[in-house]
Amino acid sequence: MPKFFVSPDAVRGSFLTLDGENAAHAKVLRLRRGDSVVVCDGCGNDYRCTVSDSSPQQVCLVVNSTEPSGAEPPVACSVYMAYAKADKLEHVIQKATELGAYEIAAFPSSRCVLRLDAASAAKKRERWQKIAASAAAQSGRGRIPQVLVMPSFEDAVQRAAGCELALFPYENEHALSLRRAIGSAQAKTVSIMTGPEGGFSDEEVELAQRAGLQVCTLGPRILRCETAPLCALSAVLFAAGALD
């Protein structure tokens, strides 16, 4: 069944209207009067609707029922990934959204090859948010993860440290495994912070430790920067029962 995202204020009683890009997408799907669709407000609520009228500019819907989305995991997991070359960050944003990430934050670190000024970062964030929105619709999510651009590594660390469980996968860590770091604790908020192609510097690892992040290993293999956050996210969601 087709699914569309609208802003929460677009829901008015028993009626909804799809316009703009949603109307264009509905036209591609050739929706007609009587067809059924699901509309989500991006905050975890699904509205099962029937098309009452359609035109190239808008599609009018009648709301038949409202229910909480069943696609959201029981843990709010935030993925923090350092700037990476090419489209690696876009790949992670898309796949992390499909898996169930609560939010995705990009940040600079000392070994990042990609460097963004404020204007470029704002433009990138706009594109990244659209990728998250598209992936959320495709995967049947009940909310669209917010994509953030952190101004510095220090800001990213401080924000990530605010979660109940803050994980910092690092290739030179050998004592604490991701399995042990997750443990049996049922944290409701988790952050995962991973580095760029060149990894984290010793100073960055020390700063993360001082802030309270748990430095852990993802195993004996060196994972690419676009693989590590998805690996850790999948493990956290599995431990929380989100993949049942």
Mean pLDDT of 107-133: 94
Annotation: CATH topology of 76-239: Alpha/beta knot (3.40.1280)
Q: What is the pLDDT of residues 61-106, one digit of tens each?
A: 999 999 988 889 999 999 999 999 989 999 999 999 999 999 999 9
- Per-residue pLDDT averaged across 172-177, rounded? 94
CA neighbor of 83 nearest in space, from 149, 35, 33, 155: 149
Mean pLDDT over 192-201 rounds to 96
Residues 91 and 75: their CA atoms lie apart, in Å, by 22
**pLDDT tens-digit readout, 14-70:** 889 999 989 998 999 999 999 999 999 888 889 999 999 988 889 999 999 999 888
What CATH number is given for 3-68 in this structure? 2.40.240.20
Amino acid making up residue 77: C
**CA of 210: how far to CAs of 150, 153, 215, in Å?**
19, 14, 11
Domain ranges of the chain: 3-68, 76-239
For 228, residues 6+ apart whose C-beta sits below 8 A from its C-beta are: 169, 194, 195, 218
- When the pLDDT of each residue in the chain is averaged and rounded to a whole number, the result is 93
Where does the pLDDT of residue 120 fall: very low under 50, low under 70, confident under 90, or very high at 90 and above? very high
pTM beyond 0.85: yes
Say how far apart CA 121 and CA 109 lie, in whole Å: 14
pLDDT of residue 70: 86
Distance, CA of 157 to CA of 69 (rounded, Å): 31
Average pLDDT over residues 216-220: 96
Tokens of 87: 């489209």
